[in-house]
Amino acid sequence: MLYRLDAPAPAVARAFATNSRDDPWSGGHVAPGGFAPVITAGREQVAGARPQTRQPRRMVPRLWGVPPPPSVHDAPTYGIASVRNLESPFWIGNLRNSEFRCLVPATSFMEWGRVSPTDGKRRQCWFACTDQPVFAMAGVWKDSEVPSFALVTCPANAELRAQGRETMPVILPGDAASHDLWLRGGWDRASALVQPYSSSLMRMVER
């Protein structure tokens, strides 16, 4: 999977009620292993007691792809780009702590489609939201040597299943309350946001 964020940092900041003074993002393509802006509502380094006051949203650059646990036998050398098992011990502690959840702004994302019967090649299928020019994907980050993030996934909707996909990134509703729930809410409530986005609110462009 790849995604695009075709909006500069100031526009992203306005969309998600934060500031962009420290983010140089000018818009473009994002691939695993690259840096991209994410929105958090916690501390840059999570250590010690949680602040008693409400922390402001912040837009910060993070690496897409979380280093795998070193204890795993034959662990991959590349970062883990997506969360498929929400109950995994590697992820559950961070998901339950809202300070480690983040919004990942995007304007579209790409999945490979089915093999074309005419030339035997797969096409790039780019998906966007018809109701949100800039949307937020649900993310979670790790406090590693290089702060990094992964996208939370869920079962694919009908639009993506038609292209042979089994999963898709979690796209959050566009309202401020849903964004705030993912960034600040308890996991018992925030986990309800992990569901497929409506196919009727998406469009696909094949390339």
Q: Would you give per-residue pLDDT tens digits along the chain (207 residues)? A: 999 999 999 999 999 999 877 789 999 999 999 999 999 997 766 655 566 667 789 999 999 999 988 765 555 567 999 999 999 999 999 999 999 999 999 999 999 998 888 888 889 999 999 999 999 999 999 987 788 999 999 999 999 999 999 999 999 999 999 999 999 999 999 999 999 999 999 999 988
Domains in the chain, ordered, with CATH?
A: 2-44+56-206 (3.90.1680.10)
Q: What pLDDT is stored for residue 22 in this prediction?
A: 75
Q: Could you give the C-alpha distances from 36 to 2, 24, 27, 47, 115, in angstroms and in order?
A: 12, 10, 9, 24, 30
Whole-number Å distance between alpha carbons of 134 and 155: 22
Q: What pLDDT is stored for residue 47 in this prediction?
A: 54
Q: What pLDDT is stored for residue 145 in this prediction?
A: 79
For the chain, give the number of residues.
207
Distance between alpha carbon 80 and the CA centroid of its chain, in Å? Answer: 12
- Contact residues for 176 (Cβ-Cβ < 8 A; gap 6+): 17
Side-chain-facing half-sphere of 12: CA atoms under 13 Å: 31
**Closest of 150, 134, 115, 131 to residue 199, by C-alpha:** 131
Whole-number Å distance between alpha carbons of 70 and 26: 34
What count of other Cβ atoms lies within 10 Å of the Cβ of residue 201? Answer: 17
Put simply, whether the predicted model's pTM sits higher than 0.85 gets the answer yes
Residue 160: phi and psi, rounded to 5, are -80, -35
Q: Is 120 left (phi over 0), alpha (psi -120 to 50) or beta?
A: left
